[in-house]
Amino acid sequence: AGQDGFIVGHNLTIENIGKYEFYVTYSFERQIFTMNLIKTVLLTAGIVLTLLIGLITFFVTRRLIAPIKEAAIMAEKITSGELHERLTVNRKDEMGRLSNSFNDMTASLQSQISRLEKLSGLQQRFVSDVSHELRTPLTTIRMASQVLHAEREKFDPALARSAELLMNQIDRLDRKSTRLNSSHIPL
């Protein structure tokens, strides 16, 4: 009557009674209902599981990516010279250790830059002092060499050549001293 199922038939002989045809019918209605129910449950569970995995992936990824994004932003700030900036450390996992290491590295970098700036100032002061200290003796030596240079024609040739070389070397030293003094940037 339009239903799925099967019929099993068999000839049955009963003693003293006779032969009969015996038929048993089995309907698949319950099995089809059960199979449709299993298919619906599996499909629903698959969709729910897929959504659940998607949400878990989103939150886990967000939890992992957020500190990395914060570290990248902080690295850009430090690159632009904002050495006072530090990462917030509120975790005790690898990301917390990374944040601590990043902060320690930034503090060390800030300390090294400060030390180098102080050394640069000391270097500039030293160059300025040396340049200033050389000016007075150089002026005296220049005056003496000018006297010798002016009188070089009265000397023997070797001594006259020495007076010329002395004057040339003093001029060269004076030019270098002037360049050194002009390149000094006061603090």
* Residue 62 predicted with pLDDT over 90: no
d(CA 109, CA 112): 5
How far CA 33 is from CA of 13, 27, 55, 112, 131, in Å, comes to 37, 11, 33, 77, 103
Nearest to 186 by CA among 128, 117, 102: 128
pLDDT of residue 181: 65
pLDDT, one tens digit per residue, over 20-37 is 998 898 888 889 899 999
pLDDT of residue 186: 46
Return the higher-pLDDT residue of 4 and 178. Answer: 4
Within 10 angstroms of residue 121's Cβ, the number of other Cβ atoms is 13
Q: Are 125 and 142 in contact (CB under 8 A)?
A: no
pTM for the model stands at: 0.47
Return the higher-pLDDT residue of 71 and 115. Answer: 115
pLDDT of residue 180: 67
